[in-house]
Chain A
Amino acid sequence: MKILVIEDERELSKSICEYLGNEQFITETAYNFSSALEKISLYDYACIILDINLPDGSGLEILKEIKANNKADGVIIISAKNSLDDKIYGLKTGADDYLTKPFHLSELSARVFAIIRRKSFEGKNIITFDELQINLTEKQVFIKGKLSELTKKEYELLLYLVSNKNKVISKSAIAEHLWGDNMDLADNYDFIYTHIKNLRKKFLQHGAPDYINSVYGMGYKFSLPKP
C-alpha cells in the first residue's frame, strides 16, 4: 500500500516517511503543490497526508482534486493552523481527519491505520497480532481466542499500541491520545501506568505473553517478546 506525504518541510516529511514506512507501507513524498498534483494524477494511494499550507498553492485545492478523481482511500490534513474553520472546511471537502502541528508520529500513524482499516476491510474488521484478535466493529478483544473484558480506556490503549506495533510510544503521546491534549498534566504520567498494568495482567491471565515493554521511563513498545 502506498502513502503520499505532501509536506513542504522536508525534515518533517522525512520523519513521517521513516516512521510510517515498513514492510506494509511504501511512502512517497511531494514537497510542493505542483509535484503533489503530478503525483496524484499518476498514482492511486491508500492514504494521503496533506499539509494545507504549501508555498505555491493551497492544500485544499489538492484535496478537491483528490476527491474529484478518487485518488486516495483516505486523506489526513496536517496543518500548523489550529483553526476550527479550516478543520471544518477540510473535513467538509472530504478529508478524513485533521491533525494540528506539532503532533506525535505515533498519533499520525494510528490515524493512518484507522483510515486504511476503515476503508479497506469493510465488514471484516479484525486486527490480529500474535495471540490477540481485536474486533473493531464489536470493540471486543480476544486473547488466545477467549473474550477478554477490557475497559474503554484499556481498549483504546491497546488499539493505539497495536497501531504502533514495534515502535516506542512516548507517555505523553499516549496521554494525549487517551485523555486529550487540552489536559495540562505537568508531566505526570503515573496514571497511564495503571492502565498498562491492567492490560498486562489480562494478557498473562489468558496465558498470552507480555507484549508491552517499558523503555527506560520514556514510553512503551508493543512487540512480540524477544525469544
Chain B
Amino acid sequence: MKLFAKYNRINITSTILIFLLGCLAFFLLLRYIVIKQVDEDLKIEKNEILTYVNRFHHLPNIIEVRDQYTAYQKLDKPLHIDKIFTHTAYEKNKRRNELQRTIEFTFPVNDAWYLADVSKSLEETNRLIASIIIITITIILLILIVTFFINRVVLKKLWRPFYNTLETLQQFKLSNTNAVQFNNTNTDEFQYLNTVLTNALSKAQQDYQTLKEFTENASHELQTPLAVIQSKLDLLIQDEHLSENESGIIQSAYDAVQNLNKLNQSLLLLAKIENKQFSETTVIDLKEMLQNKLSQFNDLWKSRNIQVQTNLSEKSIRGNKYLVEILLNNLLSNATKHNIENGFIHIILNDDLEITNSGISHSLDENFLYKRFSSQNKETGNYGLGLSIVQQICIASGYTSAYNFSAPNVHTFRLDFHASI
C-alpha cells in the first residue's frame, strides 16, 4: 500500500470520527441551549400569569400567540404542581402532532385552584438546529475533500525528492565509474538519505573498482612469470638428449602452461570487457569476418572429419572489431571442441547468426551455461570461460545470445544483433 493511501486511511478515518463526535456534541449543546431559552420564556410567561392573577384576582385572557398555547383548568382541590417537560401533542390548528415544551403549574384564584399549561412549539427551534447541523456537516465534508486534495498535492510535492532518489538509484550500476548524482533537496531527511546513499554507493563502486583492477593487475602480473616458464620450457625441449619419458613430462608441463596462459588471457579479457576498454565501435562486415574465421578453422574441421555447412547472407553490424572476432572465435571453438567425431556444424547468417553443432546427447544446463568455471564438460584446456566471454561481449555490445537443444544431439547457439547498426 502506498504511503499516501496509508496516511489517508488513518487521516480520513480519524478526521471523520472527530468531526462526527464534534457534530454530536454540537447538536446536544445547541439543543440544550435552545431548550433552556424556551424554558426561560415559559418561566417568564408563568411569572406574568402569576403576577396578573395576584394583582387582578382573576384569570388573564388567553392571547393567541404564534406557536404558543395557553390553557387553564379548574381543579377540585388544592394541588401543588410546578414542572417543565417536553411532549408531543396534537395541534388542532396545524392538524398534526408536534413537539412542544410545556410548563405546568397550579395557582389559586379566589379560593379556587387552577392548573395552567403554557406550551411552546419546538418545531421552529428543531428546524433551526437541523439547518445548523446540515450546514456544519456540509462544511465538514468540504473541509475533508479539500484536505484530501491538498494532502495529495502537498504530499506528492513533499515526497518528490524521495522518488527522484529512487529513480536515480534504479539507474545505478555498480560497474559505472561515474559517481551517483542525486538531485539536491531542501528537505533535511531526504538530503540526509541522499548523502548516506551517495557515500554507501561510492564505497561500493570503489570496492568494485578495486576488485576489477585487482583482477586485471593480477592477470598482468602473472604474464611475466608465465613468460619465464614458457621460455624455459621452450629451451628445455631443445635438449637433444631427452628420453621419451622426460619429453612426456615436459610436454605435460608445456600443455599446463599453455592452459594457464589461456585461462589468464580469458580472465584478463573478461576484466577488460567489464572495465569497458573496448568501447570503440565500427561497422563490421560480419559475413566477411565470418568467412575469414571459417578459413582459419577449416584445417581443424578437416582433421576431425567435421562436416561444415554454411549459408551466409550479407550482414553488417556495429560493434568492437576485436570483441566480435573473439565472439565468433569462441562460438566456433565451442562448436568444434564439443563436437563428436564425424559430426557436423551448420552456420547460418541472416539477420541473426545461428551456429548449430552435433555434440553430447543431452541438453546443457542453461543456468550454468554462462557461469565462469562451471564447465559442464570438463576437458583439458576448457575452463568454461569461453561462453562467459561470449555473454560478456553480448552484454557489452547489446546483442543477445540464446541456446537451444534438440534431440538427439543438436546444440544451437543463436546470436541476435538487434538493430545494432
A residues lining the B interface (CB < 8 Å): 9, 11-12, 15-16, 18-19, 80-84, 100-106, 153, 167-168, 170, 172-173, 179-180, 182-188, 190-191, 193-195, 215-219
Q: Which of B96-104, B143-151, B236-244 contacts A (4 or more CB under 8 A)?
A: B236-244
The answer on a CB contact under 8 Å between A12 and B337 is no
Given contacts A11-B228, A102-B226, A182-B325, 19 further A-B contacts (CB under 8 A): A9-B227, A80-B221, A80-B223, A101-B223, A103-B227, A104-B234, A105-B231, A173-B234, A180-B296, A183-B329, A183-B333, A184-B333, A185-B300, A185-B337, A187-B381, A190-B303, A191-B302, A215-B247, A218-B250
Given contacts A82-B265, A194-B302, contact A187 B227 (CB under 8 A): no
- Does B314 have its Cβ within 8 Å of any Cβ on chain A? no
Interface centre among B224, B254, B333 (most CB of A within 10 A): B224
20 contacts between A and B (CB under 8 A): A11-B228, A18-B235, A82-B268, A83-B277, A102-B223, A102-B226, A102-B231, A173-B234, A179-B296, A183-B296, A183-B333, A184-B333, A185-B337, A186-B337, A187-B381, A191-B303, A191-B304, A194-B303, A216-B244, A217-B247
The answer on a CB contact under 8 Å between A183 and B297 is yes
Return the CB mask of B244-266 against A: 1 if under 8 Å, else 0. 10011011001101110110010
The answer on a CB contact under 8 Å between B228 and A172 is no
The answer on a CB contact under 8 Å between B255 and A182 is no
Question: Measured between alpha carbons, how far is A216 from B249 in the docked complex, in Å?
Answer: 11
Question: Measured between alpha carbons, how far is A179 from B329 in the docked complex, in Å?
Answer: 11
- Does B326 have its Cβ within 8 Å of any Cβ on chain A? yes
CB neighbours (8 Å) of A167 from chain B are 238
- Does B87 have its Cβ within 8 Å of any Cβ on chain A? no
The answer on a CB contact under 8 Å between B231 and A16 is yes
Query: How far is the CB of B352 from the nearest CB of chain A, in Å?
Result: 22
The answer on a CB contact under 8 Å between B224 and A12 is yes
Question: Measured between alpha carbons, how far is A106 from B237 in the docked complex, in Å?
Answer: 12
Query: How far is the CB of A154 from the nearest CB of chain B, in Å?
Result: 11
Specify the main secondary structure of chain B where it touches its partner.
helix
Question: Measured between alpha carbons, how far is A102 from B263 in the docked complex, in Å?
Answer: 12
Query: How far is the CB of B330 from the nearest CB of chain A, in Å?
Result: 7
Return the CB mask of B304-328 against A: 1 if under 8 Å, else 0. 1000000000000000001001100
The answer on a CB contact under 8 Å between B268 and A105 is no
Query: How far is the CB of A24 from the nearest CB of chain B, in Å?
Result: 16
Determine the residue in chain B with the shortest Cβ distance to A8: B224
Question: Measured between alpha carbons, how far is A168 from B246 in the docked complex, in Å?
Answer: 15
Return the CB mask of B327-349 against A: 1 if under 8 Å, else 0. 00110010001000000000000
- Does B232 have its Cβ within 8 Å of any Cβ on chain A? yes
- Does B380 have its Cβ within 8 Å of any Cβ on chain A? yes
